[in-house]
Every structure is written in C-alpha cells, then in structure tokens.
Amino acid sequence: MAIDILKDLNTEKLREVFLKYTGKAFEMLPKLENPSILDIGCGSGTPTIELAKLSDGEITGIDIDQAALDRFKLKIEKEDLSSRIKIFNLSIYNTDFSAESFNLIWDEGVLHILNIKKSLVECNRILKPNGFLVVGEVIKWISNNLKIFPKYGFNLIDKFFLPEECWWREYYLPMEIKIKDLRYKFKKSKELEKLKPYESEISMVKKNPKEFDAAFYIFQKVN
C-alpha cells in the first residue's frame, strides 16, 4: 500500500488537544440561546465542530482554502452535523452575509494573518448588536493590536491565558516525537521530504516557546 506520511502525522488530530481551551472560552460567554455562530478561517473545522457540540445553535464556517473545506465537509457528514453546520468558501474581507446575522464570531489563529482593520469592519457589520467576538491568538499579537478593537466598535469584556508554553508542550513536542517515529518507520522513503516544513515549524517554536504563548480575548460589539 502507498505510504501517505502526512496522513500518519495527522496534525489535525494533534490540534484537537486545544479544544479544551475552545470550550473554556465558550463557557466564559453569557449563556446564548440557539446562537448563530460564525467561525472565520475555519480550515478543516476542528474548532467549528467543537462549537456545534458546545452550543445548541447554527454554526457557519468560512475559509478561502477549498481543500480544507473539502476535508471539513467529510467530517460534518461523518459526525452527522449537516443540519447544524454550513460551510462556505468566502473571505472575511467581504462575506455576502446580511448585516447583523450572527450572535457570535469566532477566531482561532486567523486574524493575525489578515488585515485586521478590514476584518473588523466586516465582523462589526455582520454581528448583531451586543454580539460577541472571540479572538484566540498569540498574546504578543493581541497585545500589539488591542487598541484597534474599540475603534471598530468592540469592547474587551474578558480574557484568559493558556498555560505557558502550551503550543510547545501540547502540540509541537508530541509532533516532534511522532516525526521521529515516522522517520524511523519509513527510513529511505521519499515521503519523508514532506515532513520538512513541519520540522522547521517545530524548531522555530522549540527555540522560543514563550513567543507562542496564547490567549482568548472576548469582545462585545457596542456600536
């Protein structure tokens, strides 16, 4: 059988270790009855599926990576969540959702790669009055951008910090161990080349794990 080393590495499975923090951030919100939730940059949907499990609402995921959305579609079918989760290939810069569509907008690891001002204008437009914006990002990025949120109508109401060095301890260290096993198991396979970008990421985080300390910040739309 052909080797698919990235399937064996399965970073999506490793990523699930962070769902406990998704849950903690969600529980910090006031109780939302049947909320309409938008996950921006949902990728293959790891946090999005968790939001469906945590809430009794309707969840929408958007992303511009069609391959990730295709993987997400399969997961939605497998989990029998087609009636609760809808996904669209859309950019947060210009979604075609009606104004004031959502009670909650969720960001995990996306805003920092985007134009924050353009993203916040659209988030404000599509969020209902008093709706919530949850931002899960590296602390350094959030701190550097914190002053921008009120300018776009978002007040900080709560936050929590993930344990120190958790990206290293909970995600990259297990990935490093898994990669060592794969290198041993498939030595001489050309597939091993595909591990290189992951090894670069690992060494970047390993060198300075505190740089990747992360937090969830909860904002509310005030105007």
**Cα–Cα distance for residue pair 217/194, rounded to 1 Å:** 35
Mask of contacts with ligand SAM, 5-34, x by CB under 6 A?
A: ----------x-------------------
Question: Which of these ranges, 42-50, 51-59, 164-172, 179-187, lies near ligand SAM under the rule CB under 6 A?
Answer: 42-50
Q: What ranges in 16-91 are assigned the alpha helix state H?
A: 19-27, 46-54, 66-78
For residues 149-168, one letter each, b for 16 or more C-beta atoms within 10 angstroms of the residue's C-beta and e for the rest, the string is beebbbeeeebeebeebbbb
Question: Which of these ranges, 74-82, 103-111, 169-177, 178-186, lies near ligand SAM under the rule CB under 6 A?
Answer: 103-111
63 binds ligand SAM (CB under 6 A): yes
Q: How far is the CB of 2 from ligand SAM (least distance, A)?
A: 26
CB < 8 Å & 24+ apart, contacts of 53-57: 54/22, 54/23, 54/26, 54/27, 55/26, 57/32, 57/84, 57/103, 57/104
Binding test (CB under 6 A) with ligand SAM, winner from 25, 38, 51, 62:
62
Site for ligand SAM in 133-192 (CB under 6 A): none
92 binds ligand SAM (CB under 6 A): yes
Binding test (CB under 6 A) with ligand SAM, winner from 68, 127, 214, 218:
68
